[in-house]
Every structure is written in structure tokens, then in C-alpha cells.
Amino acid sequence: MSFRDLNVVIIETGRTYVRAGLGLHDLLKTPSVEILARVGLRKNASGEHLNKSQQPIPPHANGIKKAISSSSRVSSLPQHYEPNASVNDYLVGSALDEALAAGQEVSISWPFADGDVRDWTQAEAIWKYVLFNQLQRRRVQNESPVLLSIFPGLARDTYERICQTFFERFNAAGLAIIERPIAQLYAGNSLNGVVVDIDEEKTDITPISDGFILHQARSTIPLGTRDCQNYLAHLLKSNQAVVAALSPPESPLDPQTLHSTLVDLVKQLCTEGHVKVPGHGETAAVEDEGITDIAAIVVAGKEKAVIESGMKKKLTAKASAAEQARAREIEALDLITVQFREHSLTLGKERHRLCEPLFDPTLLECVPGIAPVTNAQRSLPLQEAVGIVVGQTDVDQRQSLWSGLLVTGDLTRYVKGIGTALQSRVAPYIVNPDLQSEVQPRYARTLTVPEYYAEYRDTGNGLACFLGSSITAKIIFNDNGAKNFVSKADYAVKGPHSIIEMTPTLL
């Protein structure tokens, strides 16, 4: 059977974000829903968790709460287990945001932060909110099949539990599951490569050959966006003008408040596109000079900016030599002025140092507030971790892996150049002097989301997972003979185990 494109639901489940959209169109759309992958339970003055009726949730019969197992993939994001809590007791999305904004006592949990499912009731609460609250699906007459992207390497029992949840709890019309790195690589128009997914506090590195994940080489390092934000906030404390504006001498902020304020400033700089990543050995990217592509400018809607730039150049040409020298000096400083919390702040090139900890984690040792680490805990630089991952694969696979280096994650939506910076740093890990043959890799090639996905042109590779999931859904849900998804009929006959037979990567 096949489904109407307008009924197809895409749900991207990440460590810290869940994104979703309804309907597939000729022009694939970006997600219409984007929420933090967290839930909350209200607490009373005694610290007891409350249900939706504001009554204390009774304790578990044996008083035992499940603990998080020790693993390199375990996240420091909080997780609170409440065995007797129901799906409806949890606050999700806007309801949770409003409770926190009102100053209510709430326990926050991140059920997907370990790259697995920490708590099934909390996971169900998030998926239910997305399907029925945000996408306005109706459980009784749910005609929507779901394409769910999820973490790689999950147990078959986890797949079966997901399948059971979507059919028995959400009454889905169909279900297909794709592993996140595969969807991300599809968005880069490739079946071979290394996907580097930078999340809030972890970076997942996944090699893929012929559309299948090489699980034995997959790795996760404890470096992420938060480390970069804390590092740049620390550097901005050296900008006396910025600190004086945010923490004036007559009413100074305490160090912790100042740091969190600077982190908020860093987040704003990123989302407004003021941060870029210089290549290896560079201090700033140099703009290309040459013939202007008028058609490309008009399509991109940048003709006004080009005209203004041309007028500025003419005025500069008429200026005195001293004025021109001053203009070049200001340009070299790369100064910008931003509005932040009623302050007008001027910043320079230091903002482009945001991603330095990814390539040199030792820089974090000087940042206050970050716990000191031992040699056993210290993270590898990103380029070294990628080199080790590829080095653990078969020799004849490495050339195709290096030909598809895809750097993704929410950070890449706003900060351009991370992939290029990584590409220039992995060179020492590519060439093996002892291996002189046809399969010897020569260089790394970066992948990006193609320009012909018009809706994704300004999102970098940050939404690669959602795009790849949409591409996959368009193929499998429109194929009458497809065996890559579970229908209601399949589930009625085989139950939760049907997802194992209908998921190629599990066979």
C-alpha cells in the first residue's frame, strides 16, 4: 500500500532536540515543529513530584529508582525517574517553558540525552505532544504513517518498544525507522562517508559504507556546542568594553551571572550569523574576488546588499589616502556592533574563536566552571577522533569514507566553515606512507546539503537529518511493494517484531 504525501509525518529524535513536520511536498520543507527534547514534573514545597491534578505522585512500591549505567555515552543532562508518573503528568514544549518562566519548581529530564531511551514514559510524552498537540493528528482516525529517525546501534528490543508505542498508543497508520547518521548522509547525496554530528555536549562520529553503519568503528567524544559557548564567553571577559556594559562598576554582576549572560550573548552572535570558523592556520576567511554572478544574486535576494556594497566602494575610492587606510584598518579588525539586552556592544575577531575547543580541547582547562579532567577523561581533538574512527575500518573502505566528510548538528545551522576547518586538519590522518596502492586515500572531501533544496539553503548542514528523513519517507511510503515500513496489517499479524523484518539495517 502507499500513503498520501500530505499525511506523512517526519519525526527527528535527537539528544537535545526533537523536530517534526507534516506532509511531503515537491519542494521538501524544513520542520514546522522544533522543541527541546526534555520533559518536566512539577514539585511541591516538600520536593515531591506532582501529577497533572497537582497531587503528589505516590512513591514506588519498593522505593527503588533506576540508575543510569556508567558509559562513555552517558550525558550530564539531568534525568529524574518517577516510576508511577503517567504520560499526562509530564510537561512538554510550551507548557514546560511557561512553567519555568513562571518560576515554578520543576524537575527537568532529558530522556534521549544518552543516545538511547532513558525513560519510556517520558519519551512517549514527547512523541505524543508532537503528534497530537503540535501536528494536530487525531488518534481515533490517524491516517498518518510516521518516519522516525533515531540513534544508531540501539537494541532490537528498543525498536520493538518504539513500534509498539506508535501503533498501540498513537494508532499510527504505518511506521518506518531510520538511523540518524544514515539520514544525514542521504541529505549530503551520498551513501559513503563519515558523519560528524555536533550536539550540545557530545559529538557522534559515524562511518557509513554503502548505506550501512560500520558500528565497530563508531565513536562519541565528550565535546559539543556548550563547550564552545563557555570558551568564547570566557574569552569575551577580556573585552573590557563588553564587560563594563553588562556588569558596570556601580552594580557589578556576580561571576556566575556574568558568565551566563556572556553565554547568552554568544548564542545570539551565533544565531545572527556573526561567527565563522577560519581554516587551519588562518585568522579570518578571505572573500573571493571575481566576476559577480548576477543571476545567483537575484535568486538569493541579495541584490540590495550588492548595490549598497558597490556604492560604498565608489565612495571609498574618492576618499583621501588617510581615510582609505583607516577603512582598511577597521576592516582588518572585523568589528561588528550588536544590540544585546538594551546594550550596544562592539566585538572583534575574538568571536570567530568559538569552535577552537573542538580542535584543541586543552583550551577548556583554563575556563572557570568546567571541572578539571584527568588524562583518562580528556577528550580527543575532533580531527584525531575522526582519524581514529576511519583507521578502525577496512583498508579498502577508507577512500570512500574520506570522500564524504559531513559535519552536521545544530551549531552548523548558524556557524559556517566547521566542515572546511575539520577537512584541513584531518590531512595527517589520511595518507599512510606504508600503504602505496589504488585504495590509498589522497584527501578528504566535505559534503554539504545541495543547493537545489531551496528551503534548506540558509540552514547549512544543521537540518540534514530531517531532510534525509523526508527524502527516505518520500521513497518508502510511495512504493506499493515496499518492505521498508510496518503497516497496521503487518503489526496485526506479527506484532512489535515486525519492525525488525521491515528495517534493512537490522537484517
pLDDT, one tens digit per residue, over 58-113 is 876 554 444 343 344 567 888 998 999 999 999 999 999 999 999 999 999 999 99
Partners of 209 in beta bridges: 212
What is the four-CA torsion angle of 187, 408, 15, 351, rounded to 10 degrees?
-150
pLDDT category, 284, cuts 50, 70, 90? very low
The reply to whether 435 falls in a domain is no
315 contacts: CB under 8 Å, gap ≥ 6: none
pLDDT at 366: 81
pLDDT category, 317, cuts 50, 70, 90? low
Choose the weakest-confidence range: 213-217, 390-394, 433-437. Answer: 433-437
Choose the weakest-confidence range: 36-40, 214-218, 328-332, 488-492. Answer: 328-332
The reply to whether 333 falls in a domain is no
Kindly report the three-state secondary structure assignment for every residue of 3-50. Answer: CCHHHCEEEEECCCEEEEEECCCCCCCCCCEEEECCEEEEECCCCCEE
- Cα separation, 291 vs 299, in Å, equals 16
With residue 403 as reference, give the H or E element that holds it.
Answer: none
Between 483 and 5, residue with greater pLDDT: 5
pLDDT, one tens digit per residue, over 133-163 is 999 999 998 899 999 999 999 999 999 999 9
| Domain that residue 50 falls in | 5-186+461-506
pLDDT, one tens digit per residue, over 162-178 is 999 999 999 999 999 99
Residue in the structure block whose three cell numbers are 550501512: 212
The reply to whether 480 falls in a domain is yes
Closest C-alpha to 152, from 105, 64, 79, 211: 211
pLDDT at 254: 93
The pLDDT of residue 182 is above 80:
yes
Residue in the structure block whose three cell numbers are 562592539: 346
Determine phi and psi for 310, rounding to 5 degrees: -65, -40
- Cα separation, 65 vs 42, in Å, equals 18
How far is residue 160 CA from its own chain's centroid? 26
pLDDT, one tens digit per residue, over 384-428 is 999 999 999 998 999 999 999 999 999 999 999 999 999 999 999
Q: What is the mean pLDDT of residues 269-293?
A: 64
Q: What is the DSSP string of 166-198?
A: IIIIS--SEEEEEEHHHHHHHHTT-SSEEEEEE
Q: Sign of dihedral through CA atoms 324, 328, 330, 336?
A: positive
Closest C-alpha to 205, from 427, 379, 457: 379
| Measured CA angle at 425 (ends 282, 219), to 5 deg | 140
Determine phi and psi for 370, rounding to 5 degrees: -95, 125
The reply to whether 472 falls in a domain is yes
pLDDT at 329: 61
pTM for the full predicted model:
0.86
pLDDT at 280: 63
Closest C-alpha to 106, from 121, 118, 89, 120: 89
Task: Tell me the three cell numbers of residue 135.
Answer: 501536528
pLDDT category, 288, cuts 50, 70, 90? very low
Determine phi and psi for 70, rounding to 5 degrees: -80, 125
What is the four-CA torsion angle of 245, 100, 95, 57, rounded to 10 degrees?
170
- Cα separation, 396 vs 149, in Å, equals 29
| Helix residue spans in 334-417 (DSSP H) | 356-359, 382-391, 395-402
Percent of the chain exceeding pLDDT 90 equals 68
The pLDDT of residue 310 is above 80:
no
- Cα separation, 317 vs 323, in Å, equals 10
Number of structural domains found in the chain: 1
Helix or strand or coil: residue 284?
A: coil
pLDDT at 478: 84
The reply to whether 365 falls in a domain is no
Number of residues written out for the chain: 507
Between 302 and 191, residue with greater pLDDT: 191
- Cα separation, 91 vs 340, in Å, equals 30
The pLDDT of residue 7 is above 50:
yes
CATH of the domain at 46: 3.30.420.40
Residue in the structure block whose three cell numbers are 562511518: 207
Q: What is the mean pLDDT of residues 296-300?
A: 44
Task: Tell me the three cell numbers of residue 59.
Answer: 512513591
pLDDT category, 3, cuts 50, 70, 90? confident
Task: Tell me the three cell numbers of residue 61.
Answer: 512500591
- Cα separation, 312 vs 337, in Å, equals 18
The pLDDT of residue 282 is above 80:
no
pLDDT at 72: 47
Choose the weakest-confidence range: 237-246, 275-284, 439-448. Answer: 275-284
Mean pLDDT score across all residues of the chain: 86
The pLDDT of residue 295 is above 60:
no
Question: Which of 133-147, 291-305, 425-439: highest mean pLDDT?
Answer: 133-147
pLDDT at 373: 53
- Cα separation, 23 vs 4, in Å, equals 8
Partners of 34 in beta bridges: 19
Q: What is the mean pLDDT of residues 347-355?
A: 93
The answer to whether 467 touches 456, Cβ cutoff 8 Å, is yes
The pLDDT of residue 437 is above 70:
no
The reply to whether 108 falls in a domain is yes
Amino acid residing at 109: S
The reply to whether 492 falls in a domain is yes
Closest C-alpha to 467, from 157, 178, 198: 178
pLDDT category, 304, cuts 50, 70, 90? low
The reply to whether 406 falls in a domain is no
Percent of the chain exceeding pLDDT 70 equals 83
Give how far Cα 88 sits from Cα of 18, 34, 52, 55, 169, Å. 19, 20, 7, 13, 13
Helix or strand or coil: residue 405?
A: strand
